[in-house]
Amino acid sequence: MPVPAPGPRSTDHDAARSVSDIVELLDVVWERARQTTTAAPASASQLRLMYLVDGRPGIRMRALAHLLDAAAPSVTRLCDRLEAIGFLERHPCPDSGRELTLKLTPAGEAHLAQIRESREQTLSHALGTMTADHRRALVTGLAALHLGITGAAAGLPQQRDCAPDAQDAVTRLSG
């Protein structure tokens, strides 16, 4: 995949195309990791839900629907499927009889751990081929891209909890 050279001939469109190419490649890597886990596979939508619940144990269904920008019936169906395969538990909300809270089961936590481990191994191998300067530049660029995507100007729901702290990433990758 060609990477545009920095300078006056480089455009935002070139950068967007390069990032898009990388995202497509990561989609393939992520899908491979999702399909090769030993537990029952979960769809991409189910995984997104699991990541959010993992970061917020006890989250209410209504709050989860808001984060997913999805209708309550759609979130309920995703939860039904995850509960059926043993990855998610629903509990009555302690202060509201009309709401439910969500928590991953140990099997759900293990499933996410397997996927994360597979992804991290693939990325660690690729990052190991880069110089420390290139890794720092990558992390700096990704942190800026993350802010651009999650910033209020983008008009997207805030998703800051889903990405590692940029400074921690720089420290880990610089070594």
Q: What residues have CB less than 8 Å from 25, skipping those under 6 apart? A: 1
CA 161 to chain centre: 9
Res 4: pLDDT: 53
Tens-digit pLDDT profile for residues 79-93: 999 999 999 999 998
The answer to which of 56-70, 100-114, 160-174 has the lowest mean pLDDT is 160-174
Residue 124 φ then ψ, to 5°: -60, -40
What is the rounded distance in angstroms from the CA atom of residue 61 to the CA atom of residue 22?
A: 33
Q: What is the pTM of this model?
A: 0.68
What domains lie within the chain, and their CATH numbers?
38-129 (1.10.10.10), 131-175 (no CATH)
Q: If you write DSSP's letter for every residue of 124-165 in order, what string do you get?
A: HHHHHTS-HHHHHHHHHHHHHHHHHHHSGGGTSPP-GGGS--
* pLDDT band of 155, cuts 50, 70, 90: low
What is the rounded distance in angstroms from the CA atom of residue 100 to the CA atom of residue 8?
A: 54
Tens-digit pLDDT profile for residues 33-57: 777 765 667 788 899 999 999 999 9
- pLDDT exceeding 90 applies to what percent of the chain? 41
